[in-house]
């Protein structure tokens, strides 16, 4: 990857997919569906809801990518190793 490239489009393409979607596009579409499904009803604590849905698969993917190496995973995520361990415990991933 050359410097200056948009890393959001560097994710591997899914089998059968005709074009790559950026993570930002995927989140935008998911949030639009979420709000549409609410059909005008109020929602609360949306940040916590989203983080509880997004963090566990993110942590699982990074841990698999780094072959369970917590130091490398923390560096990859830009987190302190202690913070990573706390999050792994929080989601019963440790």
Please report, for the chain, the start and end positions of each structural domain, with discontinuous segments joined by +: 44-94
Q: Reply yes or no on whether the pLDDT at 5 is more than 80.
A: no
Check: CB of residue 30 under 8 Å from CB of residue 17: no
Q: Reply yes or no on whether the pLDDT at 42 is more than 50.
A: yes
Q: Would you place residue 9 in the very low, low, confident or very high pLDDT band (cuts 50, 70, 90)? A: very low
Mean pLDDT taken over the chain:
87
Q: Would you place residue 74 in the very low, low, confident or very high pLDDT band (cuts 50, 70, 90)? A: very high
- Mean pLDDT along residues 55-72: 98
Q: Reply yes or no on whether the pLDDT at 27 is more than 70.
A: yes
Residue partners of 8: CB distance under 8 A and separation at least 6: 22, 23, 24
Quick one: CATH architecture of 44-94?
Answer: Orthogonal Bundle (1.10)
Half-sphere exposure of 7 (CA within 13 A, CB side): 2
- DSSP at 14: P
Three-state secondary structure call for residue 69: coil
- Mean pLDDT along residues 51-72: 97
Q: How far is residue 54's CA from residue 43's CA, in Å, rounded to a whole number? A: 18
What's the CA angle centered on 65, arms 59 and 67, to 5 degrees? 100
């Amino acid at each position: 990857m050359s410097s200056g490239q948009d890393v959001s489009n560097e994710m591997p393409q899914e089998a059968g997919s005709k074009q790559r979607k950026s993570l930002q596009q995927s989140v935008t579409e998911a949030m639009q569906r979420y709000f549409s499904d609410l059909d005008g009803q109020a929602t609360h604590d949306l940040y916590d809801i989203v983080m509880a849905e997004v963090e566990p698969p993110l942590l699982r993917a990074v841990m698999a990518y780094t072959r369970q190496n917590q130091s490398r995973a923390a560096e990859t995520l830009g987190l302190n190793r202690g913070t990573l361990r706390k999050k792994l415990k929080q989601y019963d991933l440790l």
